[in-house]
Structure 1
Amino acid sequence: MAFGKGKPAAAAPKGLMEKDVVFPKGPEDTISALRWSPVANHLAAASWDGKVYIYDATNSTATDTIMGVAAITVGAPVLDCDFSKGGTLAAGAAADKKIHLMDLNSSKTMTLEAHTSPVRTVRFVQVPSANAPIIASGSWDKTVRYWDIRQPQPIGTLELPERVYAMDAAGPLLVTATADNHLHFVNLHGNPLELWKTVKSPLNYQTSSVSVYADGTRWAIGGIDGRAAAQVADANDKSLDNLQFKCHREQTPKKPNHADVYAVNAVAYSPTHKDVLATAGSDGTYSIWDVRGRNRLRSFPKVAGPVTAISFACDGMSLAYAVGYDWAKGYQHNSAGAERQIVLRRFEEELKK
């Protein structure tokens, strides 16, 4: 079921446009992921330049009030990042097949020799039976592995039928999207080493991003065909049944019945409202959606390049997005002079009350 036709996209109020703040210059290549700390206004940015940048955006009224507080130097493209639930540890998933960690209190770093292929995703997960922070990592080696950072070897491995292209976790739910266009669900509060269920993706083409709502009751995905989908984890709840919608498309010039289609590079649920979902696209735009109301809450003007990553702050009142080359046209179109930046948009009111 698609979003209702005839509902125009709400434009961003002019006042909100004036609240955008550009982060200090940092990443020198594409920003692959953004993640906010769950307890503070700290932002992690994973980059193809081989680093994870950590910013303190507590005082974010202007560029010079946002502080770069740390960087994890990896030396290989970093494809994902995350914070521990207490916000004291940061992790990066890298193309060197390793997980790179930093204790933000002591600045000490460590490395987990994680996989036999590049690590595509990393998340700190809630496993009630464990007495330490647990990391889940998804790789192109067709596994999800679990780590207790006090041990050099994984404490468990979940075998999957194909490469992990995207993953997210919150509460009891972990969701992976694999190269065979299937979604795999794990109940972290049950047995993390068993699949709870596997379903064919509701999107026809490759899944590029997954987001799980904070309490683990909902998930959403974005695809390379300019579509997104949102569902409730409980199969008995039909409130979002078969919900998928077109996004990140624009009218083809001089062809009234044609549209150019762009990849959805990232999807992200608001941490404070389960009906609010943001999408970011290769077309250089991002939008915020009301998935239960099945309409677009806000649309924003096109920026200087593709929007490669997006993330809500822990209070849901601000959003970080990254602008840069998204590799959609191959390496030959990448330019050292391409715009690369992280931008913070602060909202003056709740997006949905």
Structure 2
Amino acid sequence: MAFRNATTSNSAANGLQDKEVIFPKGPEDTISALRWSPVSNHLAAACWDGKVYIFDANNPTSTDTIKGVAAITVGAPVLDCDFSKDGAIAVGAAADKKIHLMDLNSSQTMTLEGHTSPVRTVRFVDVPSANAPIIASGSWDKTVRYWDMRQPQPIGALQLSERVYAMDANSSLLIAATADNQVHFVNLHANPLQLWKSIESPLKHRTTAVSVCTGGTHWATVGIEGRAAIQIADEKDESYKALSYKCHRETSANNRNLTDVYTLNDVAFSPTHKDVLATAGSDGTYSIWDVNLRQRLRSFPKVAAPVTSLSFSRDGMNLAYAVGYDWAKGYQHSKAGTETKLVLRCFPKALKEEPTTKKKTFY
């Protein structure tokens, strides 16, 4: 599957320029995950240096206007992070088998223990039957566990087929991708403690990230094979056609007849446009796609190191991305002095105007 490049969505072509702002120094190692608050311009960055950094990007016009406001000190690599629905609590999933939380108003911290292996991913989820905020965590112990912060032990668990490599949730849908190339679905509004269904991943090789769009109608997955796939959550819904397409590949510098294929490290839907998503790759590039029009909306110049994670702000007008070594080539290629930084790209206009009048083109 190939994508067309948009010719009218480039801001520069319309006399408008994106702005890039580098965040203040903070993370001292590779950033593994980025998440924006759903109610403010606070950004959380989970890092291999054993901390979750919280930045205030309320007025992202220069480095001086972005402030580091808090840090959750874990002491072990932090693999994922998230905010509560009201933005008051930040949470990190760590290699020490624990979930670490901070109340951003009081700076009080706490830990939740119950997993028997490193916690790979964490999300605050929408469970209407609960009378409190609920956290879902996916671990290499082959479980997804649910937590009520008022209790020290998990309030429920799902036993999965293998280690959890990636997880995301939006509205009623939670999906978890496991090491055996399966994708598991949970209807949070019906029964969070029961799998709705499990399918084989649309990708042939290891999954690195998944993302669920606003409303939970469809989801995306990426992996190590230089390919992204997007599918509808409910097969009975015929309003959207599934697709899989190649990306983050380039002609080999040593042989024009060969193609270098790069790992996709992250995928994220825009919270304001459920058809718009961004991908980040080991090739040092990131791109924004319209998966309904089968169109690449934006591509950006290659940076000095792999792009390890990215996340849209709540209004879709800012995209944070992290640059650092992603270990895709193993420890042999880890070099001292590899650039590690966090960057904010600010868009001067919406990436996609609504309603669209462009004709859909399927490839």
In structure 2, C-alpha distance between the alignment counterparts of 1:269 and 1:93, rounded to whole Å: 21
Which residue is 2:211 aligned to? 211
Which residue is 2:303 aligned to? 303
Give TM-score scaled by structure 1 length. 0.96
Which piece of structure 1 moves more, 40-49 or 327-336? 327-336
Paired residues of 1:139 and 1:164 also in contact (CA < 8 A): yes
Which residue is 1:167 aligned to? 167
Which residue is 1:38 aligned to? 38
Which residue is 2:268 aligned to? 268
Paired letter, 1:286: Y
Which residue is 2:252 aligned to? 252
Q: For residue 257 of structure 1, give the secondary structure of its aligned residue in structure 2.
A: coil
Closer, same or farther: CA 345–338 of 1 in aligned 2, 3 Å: same
Paired residues of 2:232 and 2:242 also in contact (CA < 8 A): no
Matching of residues 36-115 of structure 1 within 5 Å: 36-115=36-115
Q: For residue 153 of structure 1, give the secondary structure of its aligned residue in structure 2.
A: coil
Give TM-score scaled by structure 2 length. 0.94
| Unaligned runs of at least 5 residues, structure 2 | 354-363
Closer, same or farther: CA 9–331 of 1 in aligned 2, 3 Å: farther
In structure 2, C-alpha distance between the alignment counterparts of 1:259 and 1:118, rounded to whole Å: 35
Paired letter, 2:201: S
The alignment of Structure 1 onto Structure 2 pairs a total of residues equal to: 350
Which residue is 2:199 aligned to? 199
Residues 1:241 and 2:241 are matched in the alignment: yes
- Cα drift, residue 215 of structure 1: 1.2
Q: For residue 332 of structure 2, give the secondary structure of its aligned residue in structure 1.
A: helix
Paired residues of 2:44 and 2:52 also in contact (CA < 8 A): yes
Q: For residue 196 of structure 1, give the secondary structure of its aligned residue in structure 2.
A: strand
In structure 2, C-alpha distance between the alignment counterparts of 1:239 and 1:306, rounded to whole Å: 35
Paired residues of 2:42 and 2:56 also in contact (CA < 8 A): yes
In structure 1, C-alpha distance between the alignment counterparts of 2:225 and 2:203, rounded to whole Å: 8
In structure 2, C-alpha distance between the alignment counterparts of 1:227 and 1:238, rounded to whole Å: 23
Closer, same or farther: CA 328–9 of 1 in aligned 2, 3 Å: farther
- Cα drift, residue 256 of structure 1: 2.9
Which residue is 1:135 aligned to? 135
* Cα offsets for 1:217-254 (capped at 9, x unmatched): 11101111000011121212234433000010011125
Paired letter, 1:218: H
In structure 2, C-alpha distance between the alignment counterparts of 1:259 and 1:149, rounded to whole Å: 48
Q: Please, what is the CA RMSD of the aligned residues?
A: 1.4
Closer, same or farther: CA 324–12 of 1 in aligned 2, 3 Å: farther
Which residue is 2:2 aligned to? 3
Q: For residue 332 of structure 1, give the secondary structure of its aligned residue in structure 2.
A: helix
Q: For residue 64 of structure 2, give the secondary structure of its aligned residue in structure 1.
A: helix
Matching of residues 16-35 of structure 1 within 5 Å: 18-35=18-35
- Cα drift, residue 3 of structure 1: 3.5
Paired residues of 1:307 and 1:323 also in contact (CA < 8 A): yes
Identity %, equivalent residues = 72
| Unaligned runs of at least 5 residues, structure 1 | none
Paired residues of 2:18 and 2:346 also in contact (CA < 8 A): no
Q: For residue 39 of structure 1, give the secondary structure of its aligned residue in structure 2.
A: coil
- Cα drift, residue 258 of structure 1: 1.7
Which residue is 2:178 aligned to? 178
In structure 2, C-alpha distance between the alignment counterparts of 1:35 and 1:23, rounded to whole Å: 15
Closer, same or farther: CA 12–306 of 1 in aligned 2, 3 Å: farther
Which residue is 2:358 aligned to? none
Q: For residue 100 of structure 2, give the secondary structure of its aligned residue in structure 1.
A: strand
Q: For residue 250 of structure 1, give the secondary structure of its aligned residue in structure 2.
A: strand
In structure 2, C-alpha distance between the alignment counterparts of 1:255 and 1:232, rounded to whole Å: 38
Q: For residue 303 of structure 1, give the secondary structure of its aligned residue in structure 2.
A: coil
Which residue is 1:227 aligned to? 227
